[in-house]
Amino acid sequence: MKRHLETKVEAIAQQIEALEALKAELQGILHNWQERPSAERVSRTICPNIQLER
């Protein structure tokens, strides 16, 4: 039983880590959000606020 609980705790820790990474990514998108992206940028992308330019 103890090993089962330890496995569950580790799985939860991994899920938390993944969620924290997602949270950081979303915060980055919000930080760089443009309310009115340039017409040129809009013409080159589907969603200029989330699509990375290469």
pLDDT value of residue 54: 57
| Structural domain boundaries enclosing 20 | 2-44
Whether residue 31 lies inside any domain: the answer is yes
Whether residue 52 lies inside any domain: the answer is no
Count of domains observed in the chain? 1
How far is Cα 21 from Cα 13, in angstroms, rounded to an integer?
Answer: 12
Whether residue 51 lies inside any domain: the answer is no
pTM of the model: 0.67
Which ranges of the chain would DSSP assign to H, the alpha helix? Answer: 2-31, 39-44
Portion of the chain with pLDDT greater than 90, in percent:
50
pLDDT value of residue 48: 78
How far is Cα 25 from Cα 35, in angstroms, rounded to an integer?
Answer: 18
